[in-house]
């Protein structure tokens, strides 16, 4: 359905990725945000703090990121669409609650504006080294969705998509910006409300005795209920049955956790989104995401100008990873080149899918700046030799 026009400031703006992210969340219907200040993500909550009193939303600056990441889950069970926003160190603190959201199937959005790490690292400078943490950071097995915008416009668009996916799959969705995307200022077009597609929460409407809060539909996704609606729901982080009651058995674990993993894995075709440019017929395919996907373009263009057949596959969804597409391409591409601002994270996924069928080259960068396109070009120029 179309977005609620109340919060939407349709028009063309010159704003940064953090502000665009805030506007995307508002457009998606988010009306509860809990956060704790951390560079380079703070502008998201600053804009929310300014906008929410005008449109009936609730922003609360909590005492830390642990509190923020669970306050949003309380808010979701109270009936709100909710989000928290952070960067590296705060993201680390939130890990337990990504697991809680996955386990209790609480639809919510975590924004991580990545900076250089580990630890305090480079607070004001870019990194892309939280990608594996986004996927595996909480203990135990579960599935999540992670999206990677590469511009302020996409920060707006993918914030909406993040909320829509969270509601569609009852899952936490991670919006993985990086400092460059968060702080770069560009034209952002906010469409009229009626042109913005928003997925509303699917509430159970049947009688109390028929409710099974954790009974999946054909896609593996159960219906939602909110507190106060008379269903006497129970929600626990313990392994539970369809009613939500704790069951401490291997059989219950197998049934629940397998479903939590399969819910994303088996719906990957519907969730995965990539952008391709010149991939068909290419000898070399650059796989990139976030700001690095833009830094790679001059390198790709130079290589093409010199006659090389170079394609570009950009990850919009880092998780689930477009495994099928990479596998398919691996039988006919001479080399994958994976530039990213870390020492090798998403490249491991490429290597896993390629499984030795062709070459995979990394272009690693420790963070603090983007790549020099020359380094990516050098890899393109050299990767098919020898």
Partner 1 sequence: MTAMTEESTIQDLETLVNPVEDFLRMERMPHIWCPGCGIGTTVNCFAHALEASGLDLQKVAIVSGIGCTGRVSGYMKLDSFHTTHGRAIPFATGLKLANPELKVVVYSGDGDLTAIGGNHFIHAARRNVNLTVILINNFIYGMTGGQVAPTTPIGATASTTPYGNYEQTFNLPYLAESCGAVYVARWTSYHVRHTAKAMKDALLKDGFSFVEILSPCPTLFSRRNKLGDGLDQMKYYKESSEIKNDANTKDVGLTLQGKIICGTFVNTNKPTYLQTYNEFMTKKLGDRFTPYKG
Q: Which residues bind partner 1 (CB under 8 A)?
A: 32, 34, 53-58, 60, 62-64, 66-68, 70-80, 82, 96-97, 100, 226-238, 245-246
Contact present, 169 and 216 (Cβ < 8 Å)? no
CB of 52 to partner 1, least distance (A): 8
232 by Cβ neighbours in 10 Å (0-12 / 13-18 / 19+) ranks as exposed
Choice between 211 and 338, CB closer to partner 1? 211
CB of 6 to partner 1, least distance (A): 8
Contact present, 309 and 357 (Cβ < 8 Å)? no
CB of 221 to partner 1, least distance (A): 20
| Sign of the dihedral through C-alpha 322, 326, 329, 334 | positive
Choice between 54 and 305, CB closer to partner 1? 54
Contact present, 89 and 38 (Cβ < 8 Å)? yes
Kind and range of the H or E element at 20? helix 17-28
CB of 71 to partner 1, least distance (A): 4
Choice between 239 and 293, CB closer to partner 1? 239
Choice between 246 and 382, CB closer to partner 1? 246
Choice between 58 and 261, CB closer to partner 1? 58
Residue 325: count of CB within 10 angstroms of its CB: 17
CB of 206 to partner 1, least distance (A): 16
CB of 56 to partner 1, least distance (A): 4
- 98 Cα distance to chain centroid: 12
Residue 61 dihedral angles phi and psi, to the nearest 5°: -85, 110
Contact present, 15 and 152 (Cβ < 8 Å)? yes
Contact present, 34 and 67 (Cβ < 8 Å)? yes
Choice between 64 and 141, CB closer to partner 1? 64
């Amino acid at each position: 359905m179309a977005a609620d026009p109340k919060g939407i400031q349709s028009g063309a703006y010159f704003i940064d990725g953090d502000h665009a992210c805030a506007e995307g969340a508002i457009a998606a219907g988010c009306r509860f945000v809990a956060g704790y200040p951390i560079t380079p993500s703070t502008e998201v909550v600053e804009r929310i703090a300014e906008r929410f009193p005008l449109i009936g939303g609730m922003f609360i600056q909590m005492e830390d990121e642990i509190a923020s990441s669970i306050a949003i889950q309380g808010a979701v069970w109270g009936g709100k669409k909710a989000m928290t926003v952070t960067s590296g160190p705060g993201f680390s603190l939130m890990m337990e609650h990504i697991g809680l959201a996955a386990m209790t199937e609480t639809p919510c959005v975590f924004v991580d504006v990545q900076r250089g790490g580990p630890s305090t690292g480079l607070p004001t400078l870019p990194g892309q080294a939280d990608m594996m943490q986004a996927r595996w950071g909480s203990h135990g097995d579960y599935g999540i969705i992670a999206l990677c915008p590469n511009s302020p416009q996409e920060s707006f668009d993918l914030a909406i998509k993040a909320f829509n996916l969270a509601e569609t799959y009852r899952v936490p969705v991670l919006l993985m910006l990086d400092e460059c995307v968060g702080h770069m200022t560009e034209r952002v077009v906010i469409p009229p409300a009626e042109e913005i597609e928003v997925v509303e929460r699917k509430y159970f409407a049947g009688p109390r005795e028929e409710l099974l809060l954790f009974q999946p539909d054909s896609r593996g996704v159960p219906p939602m209920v909110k507190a106060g609606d008379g269903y006497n729901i129970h929600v626990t982080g313990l392994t539970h049955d369809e009613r939500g009651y704790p069951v401490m058995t291997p059989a219950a674990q197998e049934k629940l956790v397998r479903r939590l993993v399969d819910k994303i894995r088996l719906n990957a075709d519907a969730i995965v989104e990539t952008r391709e440019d010149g991939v068909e017929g290419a000898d070399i395919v650059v796989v990139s995401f976030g700001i690095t996907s833009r830094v790679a373009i001059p390198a790709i263009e130079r290589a093409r100008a010199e006659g090389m057949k170079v394609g570009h596959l950009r990850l919009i969804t880092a998780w689930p990873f477009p495994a099928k597409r990479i596998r398919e391409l691996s039988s006919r591409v001479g080399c994958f080149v994976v530039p990213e601002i870390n020492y090798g994270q998403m490249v491991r996924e490429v290597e896993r899918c390629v499984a030795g069928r062709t070459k995979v080259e990394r272009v690693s960068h420790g963070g603090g700046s983007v790549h020099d396109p020359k380094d990516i070009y050098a890899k393109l120029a050299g990767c098919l030799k020898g």
